[in-house]
Chain A
Amino acid sequence: MNTATHTLDHHGDHAHHPTGILRWLTTTNHKDIGTMYMTFALLMFFVGGAMILGVRAELFQPGLQLMKPEFFNQLIGVHALVMIFAALMPAATGFANWMIPLMIGAPDMALPRLNNWGFWLLPPAALLLTMPFVLALFGIGDGAVATGWTLYAPLSVQGGIGVDFAIFSIHILGISSIMGSINIIATILNMRAPGMTLMKMPLFCWGWLVTAVLLIITLPVLAGGVTMLLTDRHFQTHFFDAAGGGDPILFQHLFWFFGHPEVYILLLPVWGLMPHVLSTFTRKPVYGHTAQVWSFIAIGVLGLIVWAHHFLTAGLPVPALLYFMYSTMSISLPLAVLFFCWIATMWRGSMSFETPMLFALGFIVLFGIAGLTGLVLADVAADAQYHHSYFVVAHFHYALFAGGIMGVMTGVYFWLPKWTGHMYSEKLGKLHFWLTVISFNLTFMPQFFLGLAGMPRRIPDYALQFAEFNAISTVGAFALGLSQLLFAWNVWRCVKGGEKASAEVWEGTDGLEWQLSSPPPYHSWETQPVVK
């Protein structure tokens, strides 16, 4: 990308803002808000992780050792909600806040105050979600939502106050995400630097544009669904009550109309940042920019019309089964285009293996496993066996941990020097990568076999023949969880100091964001660059 920029040295000397906590409460600066999103996400990543370590500890051996089944059920559901809504989505939004204005040459996000509200809705929502745990300690209610994150009716209609807390939490999280999405779309469509056509726009921004549109389309449907759940619980409606003329399967339709696109909402920002990393560390331009843009759009559109493959066993008629099977499988075509572009970008490049590149390569291999096992699950005949088994758990953790979380870590290591102005410790980063990738596979690979052997998910106890694989999985999970402390330590050290990072940070970077100093001035691109 050829750009003509004006001198940048007059920036950053006029950061008038309050100090201390007031700065963070009132800030409308996209970099501050991005930092808050990332910090919140990291914190909640550990909260959600701690919950699932409780689950894995219980599953270490057959029988009930540590907790009652009711508490086990609460942990699995809240783990999922925390990881999806409070860790992965805020992390992606943090990236968007930090990087989109820098990448498209905009001085800030389009709607800075909305941006501030969007973030500050998150902590109360997370608090609402987890508060029933604490309330139960004082004898109020029977704990957090215990239905699994899918909140299926009629179980959720019968559940305790945890369900109500989860419903309100989802409402608030949804409003926050929709505000963030509107902001991102307005920024991307209205504030690109002169000369940056949509097709010249960096792929990370494209991934986020599709994500934001998906969020605006699907989150309101979920909000509607959980609102119906709330009125079914308290106001004598019967949306999901067969006796009153409703239908519990309807909830599954409403939920997964949101739930399936949600997977792409979590992954598109990561798919968007991958080509930047691959191109940098292979010192080659991105292969197939246009093809990747159209793949994002195709996946977004297809993702909206395949939702029922999450309940192929609910008794759908055969024509519907066939439709959802074939439409689901067709998503592998644009996804294969992305894989092809990633590999072609690396082809004959002069590769080097810094931490972000290691994470990117790990991502490609492990996310590939997620894609292939997804094809197996989409098969109606096979799904009858695998549905609701540990095979599904393993599959979506390859998609959302190896695809989502490791993708986010790729981005963090890649952009951290740009954000902080310091290099992180490459040695610690590489150690973190290898520990993560080994313990991740140790955790989830056995779960494929557990699922194939018939172990159902969301069960605190299991038959004896599943004991060995569960023990291995638990050891892996604790190693995986503890390795992430290295990540937090490395990030903390990098924020505090370290080797100075140059503006380009990496050899072979390309894009407007690398023309700014590291860290970029508090106010950047006040004069928009011109892209030729």
Chain B
Amino acid sequence: MREATLPQPRRHGRLVGRLVLLAAAFFALGFALVPLYDTICRAVGFNGKTLKDAVEAKDLPPAAINFNRKLAVQFTSTLMPGLPWEIRPLEPAIELHPGELRTTRFLVRNLSDKTIVGQAVPSVSPTVAARHFRKLDCFCFKQQTLAPGESREMALTFIVDGDIGEEISELTLAYAFFPAPNPS
């Protein structure tokens, strides 16, 4: 019987280090996906995400109202659990021409006896229409505070781009009103 010769001790450090780095990189990627996903959704209108910020009137393409086309725009609204409010569009549906500046209003009422802060989140369908929906002013840009029993008309001023695809004749803007997660 002879002594077993152990194989040369191997150095695993470098390989293991690289593998740990790989795992760390993908952990970071998970977090990097958050802004990336948001950017992609807004750029291409996935999930009906509309552009986040108000557009200035001067940034809009020269007002070329296309009087030959008509678009039906519908407004809907829902309340998320935990928000004892009431919300309804004052004009459930309107017709407009692409490129035309319009203002519409939603009636919002606080049904409770507490002051509550809410945040509206918009979504446009069909999703491909989302990036053609430009808001100049919207109550969804900031949190809204309603006193007990208070009701308020909240305004939305918008334009649907003149270059919106010919295949779209109808679009819907839906608002979901959430209890504000961090009332400011």
Binding site for B on A (CB under 8 A): 9-11, 107, 110-111, 178, 181-182, 185-186, 189-191, 216-225, 228, 236, 238-239, 241-245, 247, 249-250, 253-254, 257, 315-317, 320, 523, 526-528
Contact = CB atoms under 8 A, between A and B. Distances in A.
Given A10-B1, A244-B182, A186 B47 contact: no
Contacts of A223: 27, 30
B37 A247 contact: yes
Contact of A249 (B20, B47, B128): B47
Given A225-B30, A316-B46, A111 B12 contact: yes
A185 B19 contact: yes
B47 to A, nearest CB: 6
B38 interface: yes
B27 A221 contact: yes
A182 B16 contact: yes
Q: Is the interface of B mostly helix, strand, loop or mixed?
A: helix
Contact of A238 (B7, B128, B181): B181
Contact of B37 (A110, A191, A218, A250): A250
A90 to B, nearest CB: 19
B41 interface: yes
User: Closest 8 CB pairs between A and B?
Assistant: A224-B30, A243-B178, A220-B27, A526-B4, A220-B26, A221-B30, A244-B181, A242-B121
Q: Specify which of A9, A228, A243, A316 lies most central, judged by the most chain B CB atoms within 10 Å of its CB.
A: A243
Interface string B5-25: 111001010011001101111
A220 B24 CA distance: 7
B80 interface: yes
A241 B121 CA distance: 10
A220 B176 contact: no
B5 A218 contact: no
Contact of B10 (A190, A222, A244): A190
A526 B19 CA distance: 27
B44 A317 contact: yes
Given A236-B182, A528-B7, 9 more contacts: A220-B26, A221-B33, A223-B30, A243-B121, A247-B41, A250-B33, A315-B127, A527-B4, A527-B5
Contacts of A228: 30-31, 34
Q: Specify which of B2, B20, B30, B181 lies most central, judged by the most chain A CB atoms within 10 Å of its CB.
A: B30
B179 to A, nearest CB: 7
Interface of B: 1-2, 4-7, 10, 12, 15-16, 19-20, 22-31, 33-34, 37-38, 41, 44-49, 80, 119, 121, 127-128, 176, 178-182
A152 to B, nearest CB: 15
A253 B19 CA distance: 24
26 contacts: A10-B2, A110-B10, A178-B23, A186-B12, A186-B16, A190-B15, A216-B19, A218-B26, A220-B23, A220-B25, A220-B30, A221-B27, A224-B29, A225-B30, A228-B34, A239-B34, A241-B178, A242-B121, A243-B121, A243-B179, A244-B181, A247-B41, A247-B47, A247-B49, A320-B46, A523-B4
Contacts of B2: 10
Nearest to B180: A243
Q: Specify which of B22, B26, B46 lies most central, judged by the most chain A CB atoms within 10 Å of its CB.
A: B26
B4 A10 contact: yes
A245 B122 CA distance: 11
Contacts of B33: 221, 250, 253-254, 257
A221 B12 contact: no
A107 B22 contact: no
Nearest to B4: A526
A182 B33 CA distance: 24
Contacts of B48: 315
Q: Specify which of A222, A241, A244, A317 lies most central, judged by the most chain B CB atoms within 10 Å of its CB.
A: A317
A526 B2 CA distance: 12
A251 to B, nearest CB: 10
A317 B37 contact: no
A249 B33 CA distance: 12
Nearest to A114: B16
A176 to B, nearest CB: 13
Nearest to B17: A182
A253 B179 CA distance: 25
